[in-house]
Structure formats: structure tokens, C-alpha cells
């Protein structure tokens, strides 16, 4: 019996706990729940507090052939943590200890269940930050960031989770514990840390991590410029990134997204570009001037209030999403809202924007897009779309058609189907078109080698 191997209170079969742990925040799962569908629920939810307890659980699961669905805070929007009827959910929320902060090396040790807002609050006391600020920072965990290959709003300057993660502890499917020591870089064979980033609980369960920190910005200063079209704006932001101005935040909103994001400022037409600079590093004024000169070549300055407004409301979409897709059903029945975050090289970005926007627009009532994670060689594009149908059944059919068309357009335009939300059940059907037949086969062989019993999140990340 598993119960005899674990501390009292680790296993829950409470009906409400089972129901709450059955899904993450995938819009389709939320739609099915609010319309009253009978969703699969796990047989139990397990709440380990230590790595050793996770090892005990996975060893038992391999022995018994029981499927295990690892869960952080349930903020994922792609169905990466969907329970099956015969599975157990491994809930890491009790693994929430923040350990040593190495003030010399600027690192912090954490358990996987630590939420982002709490971690930032603790680091702020020492004048530090991870620099990793996903929009879901208050409702997501370090383990979830690693599992989904997360990127934060300042990733343009501070990097994504692969740049922040220095070391980790993970439990393999047979219960064996893998420890990757924290180092800035290693050439000791393939990077096993990187193998687990984005693996969505299919190869191992990450239980602990060492993250890099940096000096916490004393303040943020922002530039805002208006542009007549998306392609011109994208080119200007690309040039700002390449000019190494030190902008940690670069964002570019198409006209629809600009109206949604800045309508409170009476913004009615044109695209909006933002460049955010952390105060503190030397040469701030000169670097801002350099960025402004580039943006001014094809854009029109909008004033500081745009940056201030974005900063104050940068995470409001989390609440709006919950109001639309949760029990409130703010927009009524038959409505589903979702996001699609893709990425491509700069040469493909205009084509990617146009093709995906057209594909989604054929099924959705509203489609908006912004650039939010920029690189010298390319950028992510983050689409938000809203579908309105006669009822919730029709909404699901339209939703699936929209995703199929958009994913096909993404691949044909040279993009990847996900930049930082992961794959889950939602994008698994499109994984082979992204990785290629050989790439998908390699992924399958890695899974079989590490998890011969097939217990690790069986429906996730599967081409």
C-alpha cells in the first residue's frame, strides 16, 4: 500500500480536491466544466513535501503501472496537466520552501512548488530578483516554469527559464533521483537540465531548482511610440534589440491589441511599441536616447503614460481570462477565449503574422497580436482570439477548427507552434509537423527509455 510508505495526510481522495485537480486552465477544459460535462477525475491527489516522498510515489507508480500527472498551480493553458480516470495527480504545492540565497553567487535554492510572487517578495528583501516575470507570476510555480519552458515579460533583457535555471533535482519514473549541480555552464555531455525544460512531466518530476538572481531594478523607465502598421513597428523593435540599448522589455501591439490594451488612454488607431529599461545600470539616458532615435525614424512618440499604464495593468489579462472562462461567464455562453504564442526568424515574422491572423479570423470574432519576447534573430508573436458561437458545443467545434487552421499556417510560414506555453493535449496533434517525423520519433524513444512503463503524464507531449 502506498499510504504505508508516506506521511499521514499525503494522500487525498476528497471529492472536491479530486475535482479541482482534474484539469489545469486549458480553455477547452474550462469550457467543458462550466457547461457541465462529466470530466475524468484522478483516483487520488498526492501532496508530497520532499523529494524523497516523490521518489517513493514514482517507484510505487512504476511497480503498479499507475499513471502520474504532475501538477504545480494549475495555471497552464494547454492541457498539460489533465487527469485520467485511473491516474493519480502529484500535486507539488506543499513543496514550497525557499532555501538558501547565495548572496555572493546571486543564486537561490527553491522547491518546485514555490510560487513566483512569493519568491520575488523574498528576494526583494535582499535587493535581488530572478528577472522572470510571466504574466501568471502570482499563480504559477517554479516547477511549472521549467515544465512548460516559460518566458517572462522581461525575457528580452533577462532571458527565459533556460537562462535562469542553473541546477535542479528531479525524480525519474522508477524513483531514482537525478541531481544536476548548479553551475553557470557545463560541457559535460548533453545538458540534462535542458532536456527536462519543456518536458511537461513526461520524463521526470522536477522537485528542486537553483535559479540565478540579479540586482533588482530600482525602477523602470519606458518609451512608447506609435506606428502605422505592424511590419514597420516590428522592424523598429528589431533594430532596438540589435542596438544593444539594454531594453529588458520590448513589446509591440498591433492595432487591435493596442486598442484593447490602451483604450483607457483613448488610443483609437495605430500600433504601439514599448521599450522598458531597468533603472540602475550606467548610461541609462544615453541608451534610452539611442532607442528613441531608432523608434522615432518610423514612429511617433506617445508619451510616458503608455508605459505607466502597461506596468500597472500588465497582468490584468489573468483576471479577465478567469472572468470569461470561469463560472462568471462574463461574455455569456458560447464564448471561448484563448492565446497562441508562436515564434519565427525576423524574415518570417511579417508572413507569420498575416497568415495566422487570417487563419484565426476565419473562425474568431476578434483577433489581436503583440510581439513580447524579442531576440536578435527573431521574435515571438502572441495572439489572443475570441470565439463566439450559438452555444458551448458549437464553440468547441469552432475552437478546434481555429487551432487546426492556425497551427497549419504557423508551420507553413516557418514558425514554431509554441514559444513559452508548452504543448499539452492542445498542441500535441501538431507536434510532429513542428519537430518533423524524425524529431518526433527521437522524442518518443527518449520517453520509452526513461519511462518504459509509460506512467508519466501519458496523454501529454505525445506526437
- In tens digits, what is the pLDDT along the chain, a chain of 463 residues? 899 999 999 999 999 999 999 999 999 999 999 999 999 999 999 999 999 999 999 999 999 999 999 999 999 999 999 999 999 999 999 999 999 999 999 999 999 999 999 999 999 999 999 999 999 999 999 999 999 999 999 999 999 999 999 999 999 999 999 999 999 999 999 999 999 999 999 999 999 999 999 999 999 999 999 999 999 999 999 999 999 999 999 999 999 999 999 999 999 999 999 999 999 899 999 999 999 999 999 999 999 999 999 999 999 999 999 999 999 999 999 999 999 999 999 999 999 999 999 999 999 999 999 999 999 999 999 999 999 999 999 999 999 999 999 999 999 999 999 999 999 999 999 999 999 999 999 999 999 999 999 999 999 998 6
Contact status, residue 424 vs residue 200, Cβ threshold 8 Å: yes
Interatomic CA distance for residues 194 and 192, integer angstroms = 5
Decide: helix, strand or coil at residue 444.
helix
Question: Cα dist. 417→187, 374, 414, 439, 454 in Å?
Answer: 29, 16, 10, 15, 25
Can you read off the three cell numbers belonging to residue 58?
Answer: 514514482
CB atoms within 10 A of CB 74: 21
Task: Name the residue with cell 508573436.
Answer: 381
- pTM score: 0.97
Interatomic CA distance for residues 29 and 112, integer angstroms = 24
Amino acid at each position: 500500500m502506498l499510504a504505508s510508505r508516506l506521511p499521514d495526510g499525503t494522500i487525498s481522495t476528497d471529492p472536491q480536491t479530486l475535482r479541482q485537480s482534474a484539469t489545469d486552465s486549458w480553455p477547452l477544459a474550462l469550457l467543458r466544466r462550466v457547461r457541465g460535462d462529466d470530466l475524468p477525475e484522478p483516483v487520488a491527489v498526492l501532496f508530497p513535501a520532499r523529494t524523497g516522498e516523490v521518489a517513493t510515489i514514482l517507484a510505487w507508480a512504476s511497480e503498479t503501472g499507475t499513471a502520474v500527472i504532475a501538477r504545480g498551480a494549475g495555471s497552464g493553458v494547454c492541457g498539460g496537466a489533465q487527469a485520467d480516470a485511473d491516474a493519480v495527480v502529484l500535486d507539488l504545492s506543499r513543496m514550497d520552501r525557499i532555501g538558501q540565497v547565495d548572496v555572493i553567487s546571486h543564486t537561490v535554492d527553491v522547491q518546485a512548488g514555490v510560487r513566483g510572487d512569493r519568491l520575488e517578495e523574498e528576494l526583494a528583501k535582499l535587493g535581488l530578483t530572478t528577472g522572470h516575470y510571466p504574466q501568471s507570476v502570482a499563480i504559477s510555480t517554479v516547477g511549472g516554469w521549467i515544465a512548460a519552458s516559460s518566458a517572462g515579460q522581461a525575457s528580452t533583457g533577462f532571458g527565459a527559464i533556460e537562462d535562469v535555471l542553473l541546477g535542479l533535482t528531479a525524480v525519474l519514473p522508477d524513483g531514482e533521483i537525478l541531481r544536476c549541480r548548479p553551475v553557470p555552464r557545463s560541457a559535460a555531455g548533453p545538458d540534462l537540465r535542458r532536456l527536462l525544460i519543456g518536458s511537461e512531466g513526461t520524463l521526470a518530476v522536477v522537485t528542486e531548482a537553483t535559479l540565478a538572481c540579479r540586482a533588482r531594478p530600482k525602477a523602470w523607465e519606458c518609451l512608447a511610440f506609435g506606428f502605422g502598421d505592424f511590419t514597420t513597428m516590428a522592424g523598429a523593435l528589431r533594430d532596438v534589440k540589435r542596438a544593444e540599448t539594454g531594453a529588458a522589455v520590448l513589446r509591440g501591439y498591433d492595432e487591435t491589441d493596442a486598442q484593447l490594451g490602451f483604450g483607457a488612454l483613448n488610443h483609437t488607431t495605430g500600433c504601439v511599441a514599448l521599450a522598458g529599461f531597468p533603472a540602475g545600470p550606467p548610461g541609462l539616458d544615453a541608451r534610452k536616447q539611442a532607442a528613441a532615435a531608432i523608434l522615432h525614424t518610423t514612429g511617433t512618440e506617445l508619451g510616458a503614460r503608455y508605459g505607466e499604464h502597461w506596468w500597472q495593468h500588465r497582468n490584468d489579462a489573468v483576471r479577465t481570462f478567469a472572468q470569461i472562462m470561469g463560472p462568471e461567464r462574463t461574455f455569456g455562453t458560447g464564448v471561448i477565449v484563448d492565446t497562441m504564442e508562436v515564434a519565427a526568424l525576423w524574415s518570417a515574422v511579417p508572413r507569420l503574422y498575416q497568415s495566422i491572423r487570417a487563419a484565426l479570423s476565419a473562425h474568431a470574432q476578434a483577433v489581436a497580436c503583440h510581439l513580447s519576447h524579442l531576440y536578435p534573430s527573431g521574435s515571438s508573436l502572441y495572439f489572443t482570439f475570441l470565439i463566439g458561437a450559438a452555444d458551448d458545443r458549437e464553440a468547441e467545434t469552432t475552437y478546434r477548427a481555429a487551432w487546426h487552421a492556425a497551427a497549419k499556417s504557423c508551420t507553413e510560414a516557418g514558425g514554431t507552434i509554441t514559444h513559452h506555453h508548452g504543448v499539452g493535449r492542445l498542441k500535441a496533434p501538431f507536434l510532429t509537423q513542428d519537430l518533423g517525423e524524425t524529431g518526433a520519433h527521437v522524442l518518443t524513444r527518449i520517453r520509452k527509455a526513461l519511462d518504459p512503463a509509460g506512467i508519466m503524464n501519458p496523454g501529454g507531449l505525445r506526437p
